[in-house]
Amino acid sequence: MHRIILAVVACMPMLGCSSVLDADANGIWVQESMIQLSNPDTTASEHCQKYGKRAEYQSTLSDTGTKKYMMPIRAYKCV
C-alpha cells in the first residue's frame, strides 16, 4: 500500500500544474501537464505582467527530431 501512495505522490508534479522551466523579463518556457489544471497561457501572462508586459506565444516544442517530449513545452515572449 505504501508503494502505491509513494508512486502517486511522485507522479503528482507531472499531472497537475504547468511547470515553469525558465523565465526572465524577456520570456518564459512552460511545460504543459498531462492533466490541464492550470493553463500555460495564464501562467505566461501572469509572469509577464510582473514586468508590465504581455505574453506573446512563440512556439511549442513537442518533437525536435532528436528528442521527443512527453509533455510539450511552450515558449512565450514578454512584449
CB 74 within 8 A of CB 44: yes
pLDDT at 38 > cutoff 90: no
Q: What is the pTM of this model?
A: 0.70
Report how far apart, in Å, the C-alpha atoms of 32 and of each of 1, 17, 52 are: 30, 8, 24
pLDDT more than 90, % of the chain = 47
CB 15 within 8 A of CB 34: yes
Domain ranges across the chain: 2-78
Q: What's the pLDDT band for 7 if we cut at 50, 70, 90?
A: very low
- The amino acid at residue 43 is T
